[in-house]
Amino acid sequence: MKWLRRWQGLLSQKPLRLAFLGLVISFLVSFPFWASRYWVDVGFYVGLYALLGLGLNIILGEVGLFNLGHAAFWAIGAYTTAILNVRFGIPTLALLPISAVVAAGCAWLVSSPIIHLRGDYLCIVTIALGEIVRLVLINNPGGLTGGPNGVVGIARPVFLGHVIRTPMDFYFLVWAVVILCAIGLRQLQRSRLGRAWNYIREDEIAAEAMGVDVRALKLLAFVVGAALAGLAGNIFAAKMRMVSPDSFTFMESCLMFCIVLLGGMGSIPGTILGAALVVLFPEIFRPVAQYRLLFFGLALAATMYFRPGGLWPRRRTAEILVGQTER
């Protein structure tokens, strides 16, 4: 595994990093033009799970809050899109930010009372949260969610007069959102806020003693993470053209958890890599049919055994802050 570390070391050099980034971007852009429709669809799901993983990465990776109910926010985003589009005819793409805002609002509402819980206790409550949201959706409150049948007939998104319908269109939609979010999160990581989050993760008491508003920042992490899940929910609903409670099971929350752990806590490229693995593993093991989840589990266990810090852990570098006066 030394080569991986060396590889990461190489990437810290700016020209090499830019070259690598260019390579990745050109691969992402050219991919749908030479890959089959099936692989383009797989690429779409990698993007979708990367978005979900990035959201959870803020909560789990940056702040270290165990959240095993992230699928709930995904579901809220998807149902917001579905209900507002089907009932009120609001264009699906216009609902992209609205879904994020609604998911973020719900996250603020439900996590305010539980945010003081620590470690496994928070984990248990978030599991319950995920289940509660799913059960509420099944029970069809006010005839809005359609119960177990879900909501169907979501309109296709239209971008500048172009109807987004083929796997390629969706591929570009989701990856555009992922890349924009990744850039934003990268800026956030290097900001005062990002450092405060990491501080809380490493030592909450010390952070509080230094004047960091732990409660508000933890809440903010939940809100931002849920907003990203809301975005993913919107895109998922648009792609499926229907939503139903069985898409947002506990298993999905676990998968997102795996993505962040596999990739490396707090690492943006790691999370995207983790999403790729979590989506690709079951697809690669398709030929072994009923054993594919077994192989999937084995692969996860092996990865965690050989690289406990994740595949692409965030490198701890001393960030040199150049103050105004020194310039």
Partner 1 sequence: MKWIIGLSVVLALCGWAQPILVGFQGPLTGPWAVEGDWALKSVQIAVEIVNARGGILGRPVQLVVEDDGGTPKGGTLAAQKLIAAGVKFVVGTYGSMVCMPSSELYEEEGVVHINYGCTRVDLSARGFKYYFRTSGRDDSQARFFVEYVIPLFGAKRIAVMHDNTAYALGVAEDVLRFMKPLLDEGKVELVYYDAIMPGERDYTPALTALRDAKPDIWYYTGYYPEWALLLRQGKDLGLDWKKIKAVGSNACPISEAVKIAGLDAVVGAMITQEPLPAFLVEKYPLAKEFVEAYEAKYGPIHDSPWATYAADAIFTLAFAIEATRSLDPAVVAKYLRSGQVIGEGITGPLSFSPEGDRLGVPYMLLICTEEGKSALFDPAVHGHLVGM
| Among residues 32, 55, 150, 233, the one that binds partner 1 under rule CB under 8 A | 150
| Among residues 12, 13, 30, 149, the one that binds partner 1 under rule CB under 8 A | 149
Find the shortest distance in angstroms from Cβ 187 to partner 1.
31
CB 125 within 8 A of CB 114: yes
Give the contact letters, 43-72, x = binds to partner 1 (CB under 8 A), - = no. --x---------------------------
Which DSSP helix (H) or strand (E) runs through 162?
Answer: strand 162-163
CA atoms of 123 and 69, how far apart (whole Å): 8
Does 152 help bind partner 1 (rule: CB under 8 A)? yes
Q: Strand, helix or coil at 159?
A: strand
- Helix, strand, coil shares of the chain, percent, nearest 5, are 75, 0, 25
CB 66 within 8 A of CB 243: no
Residue 49 burial (10 A CB sphere; 0-12, 13-18, 19+): buried
Find the shortest distance in angstroms from Cβ 117 to partner 1.
31
Q: Which of residues 157-186 bind partner 1 (CB under 8 A)?
A: 165, 167
What DSSP string runs through 204-241? HHHHHHTT--HHHHHHHHHHHHHHHHHHHHHHHHHHHS
Does 283 help bind partner 1 (rule: CB under 8 A)? yes
Nearer to partner 1, 204 or 283 (CB): 283
Provide CB contacts within 8 A for 242, sequence distance 6+: 82, 150, 151, 152, 153, 154
Nearer to partner 1, 26 or 149 (CB): 149
Q: Which residue type is seen at 163?
A: V
Provide CB contacts within 8 A for 288, sequence distance 6+: 295
CA atoms of 33 and 35, how far apart (whole Å): 6
Does 41 help bind partner 1 (rule: CB under 8 A)? yes
Q: What are phi and psi of 162, to 5 degrees?
A: -100, 120
- For residue 162, CA distances in Å to 156, 171, 292, 312 come to 10, 14, 38, 37
CA atoms of 11 and 26, how far apart (whole Å): 17
Find the shortest distance in angstroms from Cβ 269 to partner 1.
24
Give the contact letters, 93-132, x = binds to partner 1 (CB under 8 A), - = no. ----------------------------------------
| Among residues 286, 306, 320, 325, the one that binds partner 1 under rule CB under 8 A | 286
Q: Which of residues 221-240 bind partner 1 (CB under 8 A)?
A: 239-240
Does 247 help bind partner 1 (rule: CB under 8 A)? yes
Does 144 help bind partner 1 (rule: CB under 8 A)? no
Find the shortest distance in angstroms from Cβ 236 to partner 1.
8
| Among residues 4, 109, 246, 302, the one that binds partner 1 under rule CB under 8 A | 246
Find the shortest distance in angstroms from Cβ 240 to partner 1.
5
| Among residues 111, 189, 244, 267, the one that binds partner 1 under rule CB under 8 A | 244
Q: Strand, helix or coil at 59?
A: helix
| Among residues 33, 120, 290, 325, the one that binds partner 1 under rule CB under 8 A | 290
Nearer to partner 1, 185 or 255 (CB): 255
Site residues (CB under 8 A) for partner 1? Answer: 36-38, 41-42, 45, 147, 149-150, 152, 165, 167, 239-242, 244, 246-247, 282-283, 286, 289-290, 292-293
